[in-house]
Amino acid sequence: RSPAAPQRLHMQISRLAQRRVARPAARAYSSAVAAVQPPTHVATMPNQMRVATESTGGDTATLGVWIDTGSRYESDATNGVAHFLEHMSFKGTAKRNTRQLEMEVENMGGHLNAYTSREQTVYYAKVLKQDVPRAVELLSDILLNSTFSPAAVENERQVILREMEEVESQIEEVVFDRLHEVAYVGTPLARTILGPTENINSITADDISRYVKTHYTAPRMVLAAAGAVEHDQVLDLASEYFGGVPTVAPAGHDYENHASLFCGADVRDFKEDMPAANFALAFEGLKWTDPDVFTLMLCQSLLGTYDKKSSNMQYATAPMVLALDKYKVAEQVQPFCTCYNDTGLFGVYVTANLDSYDDYSTLFQILQDEMLALTQGVSDEDLARGKAQLKYNLLQQMDGTSPTAEEIGRQLLTFGRRMNLAETLARVDDITAADVKRVADKVCWDQEVSFAAIGSNLKYIGDINSLRRGTYWNRV
């Protein structure tokens, strides 16, 4: 390591020595903000499908079905079928063809969409208040009555192959897919959402139908609604249109839910024609239900976000951002904290022009030293700043009917309940400097790392053993 390392460690110790008393007004503000949140009503239908609503008023509403299934529940042979199904759901049902479906949504002035992730599949609609009943019926039709005609499957196959080409051009998406491949080698989370090309070319209508019968069962589905909705009305509509969803899959439609195990590994795609190196460095993070998950999110906020092109960097207070702005060895640095049902990823995504080994050494010393600095604790001033940033980000995620419905659906699938805003902000307020030190130590100190990179001059970046050595300091 360069001689700058002891100096930065000394700076971190100095920050700890300059502790300030956190402002007591922060908790009062959090309580005031949380007090305006309307209650979330949750009901479970006889078939065990849950219905959750949050009436926030206004003239529009977002309704959607959140399903506890995604690419991690596929097999290697069927990887990509969940995403394929998402496409097929808009290609016609037993009572509506594609054009009728599109015209009906357009005539309502609404918005209908869907997405697939590694652990969840979501179909949602944003409509005017008076169209809530039509939206629920429409969602049930595309989820339960899609036809999956062989001709439509063949047409959509080409659409998905073109989509794969577009995704390959989105470097950040590719890096994170590669990161999952090396972080969870041979386990479900290593699979991509779109699946490999050979699977897309071979998936049939029967594969899609079997996936629906296996995974689209009532206990794994949540109908969430927010905005101009009334709980009793939505519950009645859910009973009418989703009451027939089976509680269990038919015989012979079993699936295996293997754990995803983190391992330290790396992958590098050397592309000297690219203008920069793009990479992600990650530790194993925490699962959604871990008691320390909000503390790890706070660690992400404490690291801060860096953008070389922004003139605001010189006014930043996060130590990592200040160091990056001083040495100018990166274009962008974005910390991330990704959670899953049984594991997670915590680290940084970086875009950098590495022109020499010194650039690599300086950059990685800043990144890894500042992550490890959290294991030594934080000042009260930094703690208050990080909490304010985290609460702002959490509140942003609930700004509007669609983000609110998203939060309700996701939380019921991951936590098994709706965590209201008051509890969320209280959990953030209750985090202490000792908590940050303990959680950072558990996640980062002397732990395995995974690394994925694409771009130019990757030859300057040390091997996996070098990156692993950056996860601890020699303590005196």
- Return the structure tokens found at 282: 């990650």
Q: Is 156 a catalytic residue?
A: yes
75 vs 6, 80, 176, 258, 453, CA distance in Å? 49, 9, 20, 10, 26
Q: What is the pTM of this model?
A: 0.90
Does the structure show a pLDDT above 60 at 120?
Answer: yes
pLDDT bracket for residue 378 (50, 70, 90): very high
Average pLDDT of span 194-223:
96
Q: Across residues 283-309, what is the average pLDDT?
A: 97
Nearest alpha carbon to residue 188 among 82, 337, 288, 66: 82
Which residue among the candidates 156, 284, 331, 406 is catalytic per the annotation? 156
Mean pLDDT over 310-317 rounds to 87
Please write the tens of the pLDDT for every residue from 327-366: 999 999 999 999 999 999 999 999 999 999 999 999 999 9
Tens of pLDDT, residues 395-408: 988 889 999 999 99
Catalytic residue among 86, 181, 331, 407: 86
The side-by-side arrangement of strands in the sheet containing 450-455 is: 266-270, 450-455, 277-284, 344-352, 332-339, 306-307
Annotated catalytic residue 102: no
Distance between CA atoms of 376 and 370, rounded to whole angstroms? 10
Mean pLDDT of 88-98: 90
Contacts for 114 with CB less than 8 Å, ≥ 6 apart: 86, 89, 90, 121, 122, 123, 124
Q: Where are the alpha helices (DSSP H) in 338-379?
A: 357-373
Instruction: Kindly tell me if the per-residue pLDDT of 147 is higher than 60.
Output: yes
Query: For the residues 240-266, what does the mean pLDDT come to?
Result: 93
| Alpha-carbon gap, residue 135 to 111, rounded angstroms | 10
Place of tokens 């047409």: 155
Q: Which of 20-24, 194-198, 301-305 shows the lowest per-residue confidence on average (mean pLDDT)?
A: 20-24
Element (H, E) at 265: none
For residue 342, give the DSSP letter: S
pLDDT digits (tens, 9 = 90+) for 6-26: 333 333 333 333 333 334 444
**Is the model's pLDDT at 222 over the cut of 90?**
yes
Candidate from 28-42, 275-289, 460-474 with smallest mean pLDDT: 28-42
If you average pLDDT over residues 410-439, what whole number do you get? 95
User: Angle 285-289-294 (CA atoms, 0-180°, nearest 5)?
Assistant: 60
Instruction: Specify burial of residue 370 (Cβ count, 10 A radius: 0-12, 13-18, 19+).
Output: buried
